[in-house]
Amino acid sequence: MLINIDDILKSEKVLYTFKILTCAGLIALLAIIFDKDKTSNFFLWASLTAFFTVQYDSKNKVNFNQVTGNVIGSVVGIIIWLLIANISHHQGYYINLEYWFLILGILLTTLCCILMNHAEYCGIALASFLIVTIYDVSHHSIEGALMRIVFCIVGCLIAYAVDILARNFWTKQLDNL
């Protein structure tokens, strides 16, 4: 039996849709269990990270090093958050300085990724940086910033696990053709 390339491409689209929906379903289940009152926005932050992590191309598996990108972005995010929080009592300068600190954080995150030879994960590191920093700048809560690090890592781990399971399933299906 000949394998039609169009069938394979269609199955990759189905596989990608399956991976996205599985990530969303697992994160929703965790949100129902651990964030019943929806105060932490776990679903939002973990979903964003998972969706950035899942790969469309079935030949490119999710690399566990994307967690490294999340950690880099989160650590820089906490550092910048602390700098912004310490200047927040100077209201006249605060709003303008916040943007400069965010740009500094973007620069530091990018440089860390490049210097650590993780430039390919710079996008997810920057997303993690912004997830950790932006919301809590206006709410002045270090606990929220720290929880978002956990949410990013959980989202990444869910995407990694779903990708492995989907890849194994897809490979078995192709072998059966």
User: What's the pLDDT at 104?
Assistant: 95
| Domain with 144 in it | 5-176
The amino acid occupying position 38 is K
The amino acid occupying position 105 is G
User: What's the pLDDT at 81?
Assistant: 83
User: What's the pLDDT at 22?
Assistant: 94
Tokens representing 76 are 């820089």
Separation of alpha carbons 165 and 55, rounded Å: 13
At 63-94, the pLDDT tens digits run 666 778 888 998 999 898 888 777 766 655 55
User: What's the pLDDT at 88?
Assistant: 63
User: What's the pLDDT at 5?
Assistant: 53
User: What's the pLDDT at 20?
Assistant: 92
Which residues in the chain show pLDDT less than 50? 1
Number of folded domains that form the chain: 1
**What pTM, to 2 d.p., does this model score?**
0.74
- Nearest 5°: the CA angle 168, 171, 173 is 110
User: What's the pLDDT at 95?
Assistant: 58
Residue entry with tokens 């958050």? 81
Neighbour-count burial for 29-59, b at 16+ CB within 10 Å, e otherwise: ebbeeebeeeebbbbbbbbbbbbbbbbeebe
